[in-house]
Structure 1
Amino acid sequence: NGLMISALAGAHGVVEPPSGQPADLYLTRAIEAADFIRTHMMERTTVMTTVGGKERPAEVLLLYRAYREGRGRVLGFCDDYAFYVQALLDLYEASGGDLQWLRLAKEVLESQVLLFWDEEGGFWSEPQMASSSHAPTTTTLTNITDPSSPLGVFLRTKYVYDGAEPSPNGVSAMNLLRMDALLQRQDKQGVEHDSPYLRKARLLLGTLFEKMPGEGMPQMYVAADWLTWRDELAIKQILFLGDQSSVEALHRAFKSRFLPTSVVHFMTSGEQREFFRDATPHLTDEEGGGDVKPQMVVCEGRTCQRPCMTVDDVHALLDR
């Protein structure tokens, strides 16, 4: 479902729906699928985690593996979380910056870290809990490699090679890097502060490439390429400013070009401007308030191009 939501979100505005179908067909279906998972296949609960040798409660979103006439009891695996986070990030962009999807992506990613992260680097495929009741209150995260545990299994695995589906670690590395780019902390003087997303992405890629060199993991190489571009301040930050309905044509023009090392910020509403003012204060220099004319601005590091005011401007800039 996560991969299908990403496909639908990517098709919106680029692929024409079948004759007689509404123009937003693919986006509508993506939203329906994402909302079904959020409503029927997720559960908010509290778990006890160990940090610095001390136990503390933490709230997580549990994602369930299957649904048939009701939610099953088996918890999702790492790939379920990774694909859903990727889908939510894609849906945030396709929907013109609907922050509910970005906020949910952040929460699901942080839950994934609690349930699957290996402090030596990378994500286990199995959660620390193998199953859950339908209405837990507080659950202690169980080491499921302990066979004495009622939830125990003998082995936790870690997948990095792509097969019919991309590997959960490859997709998760990209999710961490995209979230870092969306929510990176940088002050007005341009001093950047490494986010926990970036630190985990570096550890994941460094550890897994060292332990498992070779071919068969293109998604990991995509993430490594993004990280290289990021370190060279070459990730393109695309800002859409002005009224939401007025920037749709500019956004479609942007989506018609392939920019794999870019991240999109929408500042077309007061809520969005306030959100990114808190999350990425260095970008608010460009947003110019709510009365700015519809435009797209492309920034790399602290340098921004002249605003694109028309579709032709967008194509001319991106085709250079």
Structure 2
Amino acid sequence: MQGELLATSCLTNNWCNQMYRFSYKLWQSNGETLESSGERVLEALRKGKEISASPGETLPSGPDVANRCYQQLAHSYEEEYGGFREAPKFPSPVNLMFLMSFWAVKRASSEGAEALQMALHTLRMMVLGGIHDHVAQGFHRYSTDSSWHVPHFEKMLYDQGQLAVAYITAYQVGMYACTLCIRALLPDIVEGAAGGATQGDISIHPYGVKEQGNVDPAQVWESEGQNVLIVRYSVELTAAHFGISVDRLSELLSDARAKLAKVRKARPPPHLDTKMLASWYGLMLSGFARVGAVLGDKALLERAERAACFLREHKWDEEGQSILHSCYRGNNMEVDASPIAGFLDDYAFVVCRLLDLFEATQRVCWLQWAEGLQLRQDQLFWDSQGSGYFCSDPLRSDADGAEPSANSVSAMNLLRLSHLTGWQDWIQRSQQLLTAFSDRLIKVPIALPDMVHSVMAQYYTLKQIVICGQPDAEDTASLISCVNSLFLPHKVLMLADGNTEGFLYQRLPILSSLVPQDGKATAYECENFACALPVTCPQELRRLLLE
């Protein structure tokens, strides 16, 4: 059977056909030896991936692990253009989110300031670079050079979702990245511009476009005479160069990008993979939810909820009470579900994103579904020896890469759920998971920056921010908006609406003792539900949360 599959996949390739014939003869003559060698390879892989907590082993120190992760990232940081390696250079959102979380707990230190600078400079250089599609928006998978100029022209859903969260986090901490063409398309003379410059002249200037092309042919095959848009001059410098206002320049650039997009649409489009994975879909859902919450954009929150409803309709097996790994969009836009059962990543990523959606909308149905999915994930994937979750027996995901590992995400999911539902077993399970990874966290935390975030959350203790008020009241919205405007990596947010028969009150009876003060919506900042004095003013709440 294996030989038939190999032959089918390689049928059109002569080299593959030769390899198939060679492999088949080798298997026929020496199959037992090959099988034995394969078993030894698998056993070596199992041992290399063995992760377990030794008797009496404790959770590693949050500050120590975080400091070492910061130091390792700082050592690999590329100062001129940002990022953490030479070409090819990947966005690595997990690194950026760790650095901003590290800054959040070390704001007053030089290390905290440096961590924030590394994250913001990387994000800024990426948005200016060619890895960012300045015409149709979004980010390509990676840059083929160290300056983020020439990308690998492929966009991945998991990158868009994670980078949306990274950029909105940067916005919360004070980075205002502007979103940012060609003469033949844009011939109109711009009134008042120096030297009778056309819109094309002005539009290509900030992007470093050249007549001979701005891509080195030695760097990229078949690139002679080609340009990849990359911001070389700021809008302020460009406006001054042509003697026009920044506002006028912004209008011209916006119009130029729209015209370029129109021309691009007339070309044969690149291939679109119609496969929709539950895990990647979850990452994008979180992007909509987090950005919508911070900006107070109801349209984005509605899109996030529609995405969650799509997951429920097409990637949830009600009979089997399990997630389906994927579904496909057909030629007539119909959706066909795959019978493949969900993997660990699917459960972990969807649970995390449902928790984000709950905090963004305060609709309890998303928290209830997240709780149910976590219970199912525990049944399917938890190691009975208490050493984390299996991604495939007996292996565990043990590194954060282009996506965070499922164990890293699960450690934080368990902690958040325990504070939102009051189930203490989940805190213990999160601690067991992190303890099992102690050796890796202590020696090479740079391999698990997202898990380091969970270790920090355990050390600093998640804060529970409870807003008591009516869901549609203006004063309630003001307090929630205040919380959402701040980057608070170690918190959960919940709305106590007074419905003592509701899900949250049943899970957390202590909510009944937290009530609005003087008829106004009231905020409580709590640690294990030991709460500070209530506040009703958004400015006072902001001061309290930043202390």
* Corresponding residue number in structure 1 for 2:458: 227
Alignment root-mean-square deviation, CA: 2.2
Supply the distance in 1 between the matched residues of 2:530 and 2:538 (Cα, whole angstroms). 22
Residue 65 of structure 1 contacts residue 80 of structure 1 at CA under 8 Å; is this kept in 2? no
In structure 2, what is the equivalent of residue 99 of structure 1? 364
User: Is structure 2 residue 326 aligned with structure 1 residue 65?
Assistant: yes
Q: Which runs of 4+ in 1 moved over 6 A?
A: none
Q: In 2, are the aligned partners of 1:125 and 1:159 still within 8 Å (CA)?
A: yes
- State the alpha-carbon separation in 1 of the partners of residues 508 and 525 from structure 2: 15
The residue identity in structure 2 corresponding to 1:103 is Q
Residue 254 of structure 1 aligns with an amino acid whose one-letter code is V
Distance 2:373 2:306 in 1: 18
In structure 2, how many angstroms separate the alpha carbons of the residues matched to 1:243 and 1:33?
Answer: 26
Indicate the percent of aligned positions where both proteins have the same amino acid: 32
Q: CA deviation at 1:113?
A: 1.1
Choose between structure 1 and 2: higher strand proportion.
1
Say if 2:285 is the partner of 1:5: yes
1:166-201 deviations in Å (ceiling 9; x for gaps): 11000001000100111125xxxxxxxxx2212211
For residue 35 of structure 1, what is the amino acid of its counterpart?
C
Instruction: Give the 3-state SS of the residue equivalent to 2:464 in structure 1.
Output: strand
Corresponding position of 2:482: 253
Matched, 1:277 2:543: no
Larger mean CA deviation between 24-33 and 62-71 belongs to: 62-71
CA contact (8 A) 1:160 1:220 kept: no
Give yes or no for the alignment of 1:115 onto 2:380: yes
The letter of the residue matching 2:533 is: R
The 2-side partners of 1:118 and 1:301 are apart by 28
The 8 Å contact of residues 468 and 515 in structure 2, kept in 1 or not, is answered as yes
Cα distance between partner residues in 2 of 1:228 and 1:37: 34
Aligned to 2:309: 35
Structure 1 unaligned blocks of 5 or more: 17-22, 47-59, 127-154, 186-194
Question: What is the distance in 1 between the residues matched to 2:319 and 2:519?
Answer: 42
For residues 1-320 of structure 1, the aligned pairs below 5 Å read 1-15=281-295, 23-46=297-320, 60-68=321-329, 69-95=335-361, 97-120=362-385, 121-126=387-392, 156-184=394-422, 195-210=424-439, 213-215=443-445, 216-230=447-461, 235-246=462-473, 247-270=476-499, 274-287=502-515, 292-320=519-547
Contact 1:14 1:256 in 2 (8 A): yes
Report the CA distance between 1:229 and its aligned residue.
Answer: 2.2
Q: Tell me, in whole angstroms, the C-alpha distance in 1 between the residues paired with 2:512 and 2:449.
A: 35
- The answer to whether the Cα contact below 8 Å between 2:323 and 2:347 also exists between their aligned partners in 1 is no
Indicate the SS of the match to 2:328. Answer: coil
- Once the two structures are overlaid, the 10-residue window that deviates more, 296-305 or 166-175, is 296-305
Q: How many pairs were matched up?
A: 257
Change (3 A) 1:240 1:157: same
Distance (whole Å) between structure 2 residues aligned to residue 311 and residue 2 of structure 1: 31
Once structures 1 and 2 are overlaid, which stretch shifts more, 67-76 or 295-304? 295-304
The aligned counterpart of 1:51 is none
**Would the aligned equivalents of 1:45 and 1:62 in 2 still touch at CA under 8 Å?**
no
Distance 2:293 2:459 in 1: 30
Question: Within 2, Cα distance between the matches of 1:164 and 1:123?
Answer: 20
Distance 1:277 1:268, change over 3 A: closer
Q: Which has the larger radius of gyration?
A: 2
The code of the aligned residue for 2:292 comes to H
Aligned 8 A contact 1:174 1:223 in 2: yes
Contact 1:63-1:81 within 8 A present in 2 as well: no
Alignment partners' CA distance in 2, 1:301 and 1:169: 24
CA distance in 2, matches of 1:114, 1:306: 40
1:89/1:102 contact within 8 Å kept: yes
Contact 1:61 1:107 (C-alpha < 8 Å) held by counterparts: no
CA contact 1:253–1:314 (8 Å) conserved in 2: yes
**2: CA distance, partners of 1:78 / 1:292:** 46
Taking the aligned partners of 1:200 and 1:319, their CA distance within structure 2 comes to 30
TM-score with structure 2 length normalisation?
Answer: 0.44
Quickly say closer, same or farther: Cα 1:71–1:269, change in 2 above 3 A: farther
- Alpha-carbon offset, residue 295 of structure 1: 1.8
Per-residue CA deviations over 1:105-144 (Å, capped at 9, x if unaligned) read 0011111111111112111113xxxxxxxxxxxxxxxxxx
Q: Distance in 2 between matches of 1:239 and 1:10?
A: 18
Determine the C-alpha separation between the residues in 2 that align with 1:78 and 1:38: 17
SS of corresponding position for 1:239: strand
Supply the distance in 1 between the matched residues of 2:450 and 2:291 (Cα, whole angstroms). Answer: 20
Structure with the larger helix share:
2
| CA positional deviation for 1:163 | 0.3
Contact 1:241 1:292 in 2 (8 A): no
**Cα–Cα, structure 1 residues 81 and 276, in superposed 2: closer, same or farther, change >3 Å?**
same
1:211 CA displacement: 6.2
1:303–1:113: structure 2 CA closer, same or farther, 3 Å change rule? closer
- What's the secondary structure of 2:414's corresponding residue? helix
